[in-house]
Each structure stands twice: as structure tokens, then as C-alpha cells.
Amino acid sequence: MEQTVEQKLKALWAWQSIQTQIDKIRQVRGELPIEVADLEDEIAGLDTRIEKIRNELDELEDSIVKRKNMIKDSQTAIKKYEAQLNEVKNNREYDAISKEIEIQGLEIQVCEKRIREAEFEIKNKTESYEATLKNVDFSKAELNGKKEELENITSETQKEEDQLMKGVEEAEKNIEDRLLKVTNKLRRSFRNGLAVVSIERDSCSGCHNKIPPQLQSEIRQRKKIIICEHCGRILVDEEIANEEA
């Protein structure tokens, strides 16, 4: 396959144009999978938090039941001691039993205080539990929206992308191997994936540096492949660029 430089430049431009279209499709899709993954992480974190608060609430409720039982036990003990008081034989016995009653009374007060504290904590934790539930609902709704968006974009663009990929393969048939290898390497070296660019307003449309008039006229002659002296991209003239567009 012996090509003129002009044919080579046109083939390169055609190839680059399709690659650019593919890049654009991938760019549109690009952020969404990351956003979906981030949301899934966030929801997993919130679910863990909800479970933790739920467990804490259960523990607090259990502790209240326990304290209430302790109060009942103390009340039973007090009744027993009060009955014994009626049958005391001496002052020492009376004092000892009175002391027990006093201790059980204190026990009850402590339990009541702990119950109030637990109830206060339950109130606070329930608020944060409900807020977290709301957050997770919100995030789940957002996630569903993003997933749907991603699916739509993927199904919409997949066909187009497949078509374009075929186009790239076709375009590559018109470029000799060595030139393709160099151009591909060049393309990968730029974040925007542009290896073949056109003259735009006397400048390289890849790096926006001015192209000297002499070089511009050489590019337009299409006698050899010329690269931008600033960024190293392959340059084509406006006419080639517009033919493809």
C-alpha cells in the first residue's frame, strides 16, 4: 500500500476523529460508575450505622427492664424487712433492719436515675436513628436515579460506541503499521487523547500555540507529515479537518 502523504494525513485525521467521538462518549459515562460506587459505599456505611444504633437502643431498653426488675426486687425486700421490723427483739436488730431498708431505698433511687438516663439516651438515639434512616432513604433514591441514568446512557451509547470501534478498525486499515504505532503512542501521551490536530486560527488546536506562517504553508502543501513544534502533535490543515467534519 503506497500512499501519498496527503492520503496518510487524511487517514490519520479520519482515525483521530472517530477516536475523539469514542472519547466523548466515554467521558459522558465516565463519572457515573464512580458516583454509583461512592453512593453504594455511603449506603453500606449508613446501614452499618443504623444497625449499630438499633443494637444500642435494644441494649438501653434491656437495661431499663433490668433496672425495673431490680426496683421490684428492692420493693419486695423492703416489704419483707418492714414486716421483720414488727418482730424485732432489740435495738441492734432494729437498726440493722432499718439500715437494710435504707440501702434498698438507695438502690431504688439509683435504678430510677439510671432509667431516666437511659430514657434520655433512647430519645437522643432515636432522633439520630430516624435521621440516619432518612439519609439512607435519600441516598438510595439517589443511587437508583444514578443507576438508571447509567443504564440509559450505557444502552444508548453502547451501540454507538461499538459502531465507532468498528470505524476505528476500518480507519486503521488505511494507516501503515509503523505510523499507526507512533500515532497511538502519541495519542496515549495526551490526556485529551488528541494526537492528530488541525490548524485553528493560525494555531495548533492541540496546544493553542501559534504556528509560524512558513510551517503553516508546509502543512497545507501536504508533502510531509509535520508535527507541532510545541506539543509534538501531528498537524493537518483546515481543509482536511473540515472534509471529515
Is 230 among the residues that bind Zn ion (CB under 5 A)? Answer: yes
Is 206 among the residues that bind Zn ion (CB under 5 A)? Answer: yes
Q: Which is nearer to Zn ion, 9 or 25 (CB)?
A: 9
Q: Which is nearer to Zn ion, 175 or 228 (CB)?
A: 228
Q: Which is nearer to Zn ion, 167 or 232 (CB)?
A: 232
Nearest-angstrom CA–CA distance, 71 and 77:
10
Is 207 among the residues that bind Zn ion (CB under 5 A)? Answer: yes
Q: Which is nearer to Zn ion, 49 or 230 (CB)?
A: 230
Q: Looking up cell 459522558, which residue turns up?
A: 28
Taking contact as CB under 5 A, which single stretch among the options 110-118, 119-127, 141-149, 229-237 is the one that binds Zn ion? Answer: 229-237
User: For strand 226-227 and strand 203-204, is the pairing parallel, antiparallel, or unpaired?
Assistant: unpaired
Taking contact as CB under 5 A, which single stretch among the options 3-11, 31-39, 133-141, 207-215 is the one that binds Zn ion? Answer: 207-215
Nearest-angstrom CA–CA distance, 237 and 226:
10
Check: CB of residue 47 under 8 Å from CB of residue 136: yes
- Least gap, CB of 128 to Zn ion (angstroms): 56
Measuring CA to CA, how many Å separate 215 from each of 1, 202, 225, 236?
Answer: 28, 10, 11, 11
Check: CB of residue 195 under 8 Å from CB of residue 234: yes
What residues line the site for Zn ion (CB under 5 A)? Answer: 204, 206-207, 228, 230-231
